[in-house]
């Protein structure tokens, strides 16, 4: 840690402790990695190619005591998410906090075009929650209902950010890590639901071929810098909403 309350070397447990969850209320963390030129992915279109061991260490630490990992369908398809499973080392701490043994995958998909046979759905310890519109394509809805998934439908032709969070909180999932993509993150930010941003700057240029255009925000949302970690040339910043 080069900026923040505990400067110096940090082991894995100290890194996790540097990203505390509040005791009360829902808390949404946005997580992303970006390059020096603002790219969210490498030439292969994957965020993993601009990541590294240091970034993945923070990524794992932030997820350790989360209730849900919230992701858009496009990110699921592009990144090939695997099963979300319980970690024996965290079992006691999660149980003491009244949490489920593993994080719950929560996927936003208006079209329900998802890799239903992937390990994310077949191998996760908790049944994934899929959040969709009121009337998705009938064949896609039938396929989703046949899969290992808990399908929740909003009332209209979109999937509102507030409804997403309310649905998760109603299931006791209050600690939410939002991993994108950009449209989902922008929607959560526009609704004022992002409490924290954990942003890694990768020491690389990758070009902007994989930057997806969004509608943009109506106003700037600012966050306070809490700490900066560094390793292997990566900078990992924790920002909290004022």
- The CATH code of the domain that includes 109 is 3.40.430.10
What pLDDT digit, counting tens, does each position of 51-67 carry? 999 999 999 998 999 99
Residue range 137-165: mean pLDDT, rounded: 97
Q: 142, 173, 204 — which closes off a domain?
A: 173
Q: 140, 155, 173 — which closes off a domain?
A: 173
What percentage of residues in the chain have a pLDDT greater than 90? 89
Domain that holds residue 234: 1-64+181-242
pLDDT above 90: residue 211: no
Q: What pLDDT is recorded for position 162?
A: 98
Task: Give me the number of domains the chain comprises.
Answer: 2
What pLDDT digit, counting tens, does each position of 219-236 carry? 999 999 999 999 999 999
**Average pLDDT for the chain:** 95
Residues 72 and 169 in one domain: yes
Residues 93 and 146 in one domain: yes
**Diameter of the chain by CA atoms?**
55
Q: 155, 173, 191 — which closes off a domain?
A: 173
Cβ neighbours of residue 168 closer than 8 Å, sequence gap 6 or more: 26, 67, 68, 70, 106, 129, 174, 176
pLDDT above 90: residue 80: no
Q: What pLDDT is recorded for position 35?
A: 96
Contact 56, 165 (CB under 8 A): no
What pLDDT digit, counting tens, does each position of 27-56 carry? 999 999 999 999 999 999 889 999 999 999
Q: What pLDDT is recorded for position 223?
A: 98
pLDDT above 90: residue 196: yes
Contact 112, 136 (CB under 8 A): yes
| CA separation, residue 55 to residues 50, 154, 171, 235 (Å) | 9, 34, 30, 8
pLDDT: which is higher, 25 or 76: 76
Instruction: Give the residue ranges of DSSP H helices in 123-239.
Output: 138-146, 161-170, 182-190
Residues 198 and 134 in one domain: no
What pLDDT digit, counting tens, does each position of 163-186 carry? 999 999 999 999 999 998 999 999
**18 in helix, strand or coil?**
coil
Residues 193 and 130 in one domain: no
Residues 150 and 209 in one domain: no
Pairwise CA distance, residues 195 & 226, whole Å: 13
Residues 80 and 31 in one domain: no
pLDDT above 90: residue 241: yes
Residues 6 and 42 in one domain: yes
Residues 198 and 168 in one domain: no
Q: What pLDDT is recorded for position 179?
A: 95
Find tokens 């999660």 and name the residue: 94
pLDDT above 90: residue 214: no
Model confidence at 24, pLDDT cuts 50, 70, 90, reads confident
Q: How many residues does the chain have?
A: 242
Residues 52 and 74 in one domain: no
Residues 167 and 216 in one domain: no
Look up the pTM and report it.
0.95
Sheet with 196-201, edge to edge strand ranges: 150-153, 129-132, 104-108, 68-72, 175-178, 27-34, 196-201, 234-240, 224-231
CA dihedral for 158, 174, 127, 182, sign (positive or negative): positive
Residues 158 and 211 in one domain: no
Q: What pLDDT is recorded for position 209?
A: 87
């Amino acid at each position: 840690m080069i900026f923040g309350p505990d400067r110096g070397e940090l082991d894995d447990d100290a890194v996790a402790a540097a990203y505390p969850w509040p005791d009360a209320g829902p808390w949404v963390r946005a997580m992303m990695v970006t390059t020096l030129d603002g790219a969210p992915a490498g030439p292969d279109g994957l965020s993993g190619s601009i990541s590294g061991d240091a970034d993945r260490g923070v990524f794992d630490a932030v997820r350790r005591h989360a209730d849900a990992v919230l992701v858009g369908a496009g990110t699921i398809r592009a990144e090939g998410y695997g099963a979300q499973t319980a970690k024996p080392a965290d079992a006691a701490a999660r149980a003491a906090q009244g949490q489920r043994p593993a994080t719950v995958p929560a996927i936003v998909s208006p079209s329900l075009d998802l890799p239903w046979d992937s390990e994310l759905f077949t191998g996760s310890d908790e049944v994934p929650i899929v959040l969709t519109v009121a009337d998705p394509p009938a064949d896609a809805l039938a396929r989703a209902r046949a899969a290992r998934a808990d399908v929740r439908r909003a009332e209209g032709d979109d999937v509102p950010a507030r409804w997403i969070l309310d649905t998760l909180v109603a299931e006791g999932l209050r600690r939410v890590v939002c991993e994108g993509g950009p449209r989902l993150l922008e929607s959560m930010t526009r609704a004022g639901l992002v409490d924290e941003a954990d942003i890694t700057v990768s020491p690389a240029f990758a070009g902007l071929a994989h930057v997806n255009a969004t509608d943009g925000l109506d106003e700037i949302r600012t966050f306070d810098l809490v700490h900066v970690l560094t390793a292997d040339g990566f900078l990992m910043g924790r920002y909290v909403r004022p």
